[in-house]
Amino acid sequence: MAERSLKASQKGIQLAKQALTSKRLFQKDLIGLVCQSRQPISKFFTGKPVDREIFVGICERLSLKWQDIAELPPVDELTKVEDNTFDINTLVKEVREKIKPLIEERCGTMRVLDMTQPIGLNDIYTNVNILEKITGRRRLGIDELLQQCTSDDFNHFGLVKNTEKRFPALEAVDKYSKLMILGKPGAGKTTFLKYLAIQCIRGEFQAERVPIFVTLKDFAEAINKPGLLEYITEHTIEGISKKRHFVKKEFITSIQDVITHSKALFLLDGLDEVKEEDSKRVLREIRDFSNHFQNNNFVMTCRIAAREYTFEKFTEVEVADFDDGQIATFTTNWFKGKPVKPETFIQRLHDNNRIQELAASPLLLTLLCLAFEESGDFPANRSELYKEGLDALLKKWDAKRGIQRDQVYKRLSVQRKEDLLSKIALTTFERGDYFFKQKIAEQYITEYIRNLSGASTDEEALQVDSEEVLRSIEHHHGLVVARAKGIYSFSHLTFHEYFAAREIVFVKQSSEEVLNDLVVHIVEKRWREVFLLAIGMSPNADRLLLLMKDKVDTILAEDEYLQKLLMWSNKKSIAVDLDYKNAIKRAFYFAFIITHETGIPGICLGITSSFLNRIIFKSERYTSNFILEYFKIEKQVSERYINFTLIDIICPDFIEEDIDYESILLLALSPETEKSLLQLQKQLPTLNVKTNLFKKWWKINGQDWTEKFISVINKYHNSIDTHWQFTQQQNNLIHQYHDASVLLMECLNSNCYVSYEVRQYIEDTLLLPIAKIKPYQQ
């Protein structure tokens, strides 16, 4: 019914009187409980219209369902179509035509975070996938969850991956007439509902229905607390009136007819956004409404872990994170017609797997696009980018939409929540617990909140509070999420690492003890991002960088043979008169030896093939692979490669496309070898290698020339002034030293604050033996 009043049927009056008797009440006893005067009570029991809220209140007081008492026509009677007098399909077309401008206006655009203007939904929309099994309800153990992650290569630790089968969300809407879509904050739930409304009104999806979009927060806060049917009718009429400046009285009846004849697609958005005080009433309205008009289609959205809602006839599914294809589609749409190319964004995303991890969330992907659009790149200091993402989840996302969440624990401000998450993050990260049981998380929370001013001293009360706080953090912000029943993790490994670094820098104030505990992990891959973030967050990174440098130097300090290797690299760098920093030259010789002897991977270039390309043929047109394949000498001459990782880290501009190969070769080749190769060059005809004349020359002279060339290279390989052979233990130490040095230089070259003196000291002493470092320290 669209009216503000309801009246009891004769059967309903009998049931109400029976309820009065069973409860030993009189009609006058209801005065003051549900209203302040006798008149509405009298009207109720005589079958006259009564204000809807009072009517429902009387029924609740008597423990009756108002639908059983009110005089409502049964659905099956309303849905009968009378021949030649009523055509529901024609009516649906008329209603769709009237509400189309309203749906286009309310659902056709989106605007989130710091977007300066709305964007057309179809211009940015990316198809949504769903999981039919709710992630947090899976019965898996921690060991099983770890098996789903590629933990052997920590740089690709896939905490955000879900192995459950994914389905297009549109298929789920078609499959289930009543669907509850659950998802983390910013997962794209509202955007999907808006897309459904637009697709439906444009005839692309369920064109035989009328889409009705309801923001449940607005319904809950509507003046006079109308019923859902009344709100839908009035809200629709209000919108059409603004568009058309008139409304036919028959339109109210038309909307009701569409609903009673089961031709509506109800899109109920944001159940979690309803305030606690309105929750009971709204839940009751939705249940009653969806039961009474059960043959319509319903799609409702809600955040995961919002509350323990029960809608028995609704099928629950979960919004899946974006995969690589969805990220690419969204990005292409976002940057269409803008100076920044989507390919550039995607490539930079692939270059940084931690940032790419965040892109699985549509909200955070939007944030990344906004940040990238400003400067054409991500910030050099990634901690600033992550802080912005956390602010979006902790504060902006709800605030921008005017949503005030119920504070479960009043003393937990945003800062306190960050401090709590930081404590949990560092504690679990130190233990290697990327997944942790709910009880463990609640223990951490209990330990934290018991120290807050005014906290309860009752252990049972603290336990209840900790359960609520954990659920609140998951529901409100999505930073800690259930990965299986009773098992949690941070939503992204990136946030786990960020909060661990935050605990070190801001909560524990970078104390000497804490920093010493941190640098112990400098050789562990999984701590790499924590070091980079801690350096980026530090107001002054001098102390941490110096401790890192000392730790790097100690790795090879006790091995005399490896100290000799560093001494040799230093001597070779001093002997070569080239305009490069000594650290770069030391890195070259160090890399030259360890790449051959230990197989440390890196940016590799074949010395010989580079020489062929750039010096002998003086051409950039031929790749080294082509030359080597043409001369059939690849196996013999490309055995030695140079690892440029350290060089690139020391001087980021050194390794570019226009790299000075001739200068690099002068570092590697002895004067005698260079002279011999240049003599061989003079023997080659000045012809394009692809021409028949060259091929003819090569057929006659090629074998002899190749043998001379290989002889020179083999002689050079055997003439290195020191032959190095390492034990397995020494190989392991060299690997650790190499990786720790790379990390140190990455931290130094990040956008951190470090004094000139400390920067110079680290660069001057990099890859030096201990004996050569001591004078600098003095």
**Assigned domain for 438 exists:** no
Q: Which helix (H) or strand (E) holds 605?
A: strand 604-606
The pTM (predicted TM-score) of the whole model is 0.74
Reported confidence tier of residue 345, pLDDT bands at 50, 70, 90: very high
CA angle 120, 121, 124 (to 5 degrees): 90
Could you tell me if 212 and 345 lie in one domain?
no
Contacts (Cβ under 8 Å, ≥6 apart) of 273: 215, 216, 217, 401, 403
What pLDDT score does 203 carry? Answer: 94
Structural domain containing residue 61: 5-72
Cα–Cα nearest to 59, from 84, 80, 72, 41: 41
What pLDDT score does 590 carry? Answer: 82
Reported confidence tier of residue 629, pLDDT bands at 50, 70, 90: very low
Beta carbons within 10 angstroms of residue 453's beta carbon: 5
pLDDT in tens, 362-378: 988 988 998 888 888 88
**Assigned domain for 93 exists:** yes
Reported confidence tier of residue 462, pLDDT bands at 50, 70, 90: confident
Mean pLDDT of 3-10: 80
Mean pLDDT of 412-426: 89
Could you tell me if 103 and 68 lie in one domain?
no
Q: Which whole-number Å values give the CA distances from 642 to 333, 450, 595, 597, in the listed order?
A: 41, 57, 6, 11
Return d(Cα 149, Cα 151) in angstroms, integer: 5
**Assigned domain for 607 exists:** yes
17, 44, 72: which is the final residue of a domain? 72
Could you tell me if 593 and 708 lie in one domain?
yes
**Assigned domain for 150 exists:** no
Q: Is 317 helix (H, G, I), strand (E, B) or coil?
A: strand
258, 293, 319: which is the final residue of a domain? 319
**Assigned domain for 709 exists:** yes
Yes or no: say if 309 and 283 are a contact pair by the CB < 8 Å rule. Answer: yes
Contacts (Cβ under 8 Å, ≥6 apart) of 642: 588, 591, 592, 595, 602, 604, 605, 607, 664, 668
Amino acid identity at 486: G
Reported confidence tier of residue 433, pLDDT bands at 50, 70, 90: very high
Reported confidence tier of residue 754, pLDDT bands at 50, 70, 90: very high
Could you tell me if 349 and 265 lie in one domain?
no
Retrieve residue 287's tokens: 């249940």
What pLDDT score does 657 carry? Answer: 39
Return d(Cα 716, Cα 665) in angstroms, integer: 13
pLDDT in tens, 291-339: 999 999 999 999 887 666 778 889 999 999 999 999 999 999 999 888 9
Q: Is 633 helix (H, G, I), strand (E, B) or coil?
A: coil
Yes or no: say if 485 and 438 are a contact pair by the CB < 8 Å rule. Answer: no
Contacts (Cβ under 8 Å, ≥6 apart) of 74: none
What pLDDT score does 617 carry? Answer: 45
DSSP character at residue 136: G
Task: State yes or no: pLDDT of 403 exceeds 80.
Answer: no
**Assigned domain for 391 exists:** yes
Mean pLDDT of 149-157: 46
What pLDDT score does 171 carry? Answer: 94
What pLDDT score does 688 carry? Answer: 61
689-692: Cβ within 8 A, 24+ apart: 689/617, 689/622, 689/627, 689/630
What pLDDT score does 306 carry? Answer: 67
Contacts (Cβ under 8 Å, ≥6 apart) of 406: 275, 276
DSSP string of 498-559, one letter each residue: HHHHHIIIIISTT-HHHHHHHHTTTT-GGGHHHHHHHHHH-S--HHHHHHHHHHHHHHTTT-
Please list, residue by residue across 693-732, b when 16 or more beta carbons sit within 10 angstroms of its beta carbon and e when fewer do. ebeeebeeeeeebbeebeebbeebeeeeeeebebeeebee
Q: Is 166 helix (H, G, I), strand (E, B) or coil?
A: strand
Q: Is 180 helix (H, G, I), strand (E, B) or coil?
A: strand
**Assigned domain for 492 exists:** no
Q: Which whole-number Å values give the CA distances from 61 to 4, 72, 88, in the listed order?
A: 20, 20, 39
Structure-model confidence comparison of residues 79 and 293, the more confident one: 293
Instruction: Out of 222-236, 269-283, 535-549, 644-658, pick the least confident.
Output: 644-658
Q: Where are the alpha helices (DSSP H) in 432-489?
A: 438-449, 459-477
349, 378, 399: which is the final residue of a domain? 399
Contacts (Cβ under 8 Å, ≥6 apart) of 488: 435, 436, 437, 438, 441, 470, 474, 480, 481, 482
Could you tell me if 313 and 340 lie in one domain?
no
Task: State yes or no: pLDDT of 664 exceeds 60.
Answer: no
Reported confidence tier of residue 529, pLDDT bands at 50, 70, 90: very high
- Total domain count, the chain: 4
Strands 119-120 and 436-437 come out as unpaired
**Assigned domain for 255 exists:** yes
Yes or no: say if 174 and 294 are a contact pair by the CB < 8 Å rule. Answer: no
What pLDDT score does 4 carry? Answer: 65
Return d(Cα 494, Cα 312) in angstroms, integer: 37
Contacts (Cβ under 8 Å, ≥6 apart) of 469: 408, 409, 412, 420, 445, 449
Mean pLDDT of 516-520: 95
517-525: Cβ within 8 A, 24+ apart: 518/544, 519/544, 519/547, 519/548, 519/550, 519/551, 520/551, 522/548, 522/551, 522/552, 522/740, 522/743, 522/744, 523/555, 523/736, 523/739, 523/740, 525/154, 525/155, 525/739
Q: Which helix (H) or strand (E) holds 53?
A: helix 52-61
Could you tell me if 124 and 11 lie in one domain?
no
Yes or no: say if 440 and 470 are a contact pair by the CB < 8 Å rule. Answer: no
CA angle 12, 16, 22 (to 5 degrees): 145
Could you tell me if 211 and 333 lie in one domain?
no
What pLDDT score does 342 carry? Answer: 92
What pLDDT score does 463 carry? Answer: 85
Q: Which whole-number Å values give the CA distances from 472 to 16, 186, 434, in the listed order?
A: 41, 16, 20
Return d(Cα 685, Cα 676) in angstroms, integer: 17
Retrieve residue 321's tokens: 């994170």
Residue with tokens 């001591």: 774
Yes or no: say if 427 and 444 are a contact pair by the CB < 8 Å rule. Answer: yes
Mean pLDDT of 460-469: 84
Contacts (Cβ under 8 Å, ≥6 apart) of 710: 633, 636, 637
Yes or no: say if 385 and 379 are a contact pair by the CB < 8 Å rule. Answer: yes
DSSP character at residue 305: T
268 sits in the region (left: phi over 0; alpha: psi -120 to 50; else beta) called: beta
Q: What are phi and psi of 373, to 5 degrees?
A: -65, -30
Q: Which residues pair with 606 in a beta bridge?
A: 641
CATH number of residue 51's parent domain: 1.10.260.40
Task: State yes or no: pLDDT of 422 exceeds 60.
Answer: yes
Residue with tokens 């890196």: 602
Could you tell me if 93 and 56 lie in one domain?
no
Could you tell me if 47 and 179 lie in one domain?
no
What pLDDT score does 397 carry? Answer: 56
Q: Which whole-number Å values give the CA distances from 304 to 92, 169, 204, 480, in the listed order?
A: 35, 17, 29, 12
Could you tell me if 380 and 257 lie in one domain?
no
Could you tell me if 197 and 225 lie in one domain?
yes
What pLDDT score does 720 carry? Answer: 52
pLDDT in tens, 34-44: 777 888 888 99
Amino acid identity at 593: I
Residues in the chain: 778
Reported confidence tier of residue 743, pLDDT bands at 50, 70, 90: very high
Task: State yes or no: pLDDT of 154 exceeds 50.
Answer: no
Could you tell me if 252 and 347 lie in one domain?
no
Contacts (Cβ under 8 Å, ≥6 apart) of 679: none
Task: Look over the chain and give the mean of its residue pLDDT values, rounded to a whole number.
Answer: 80
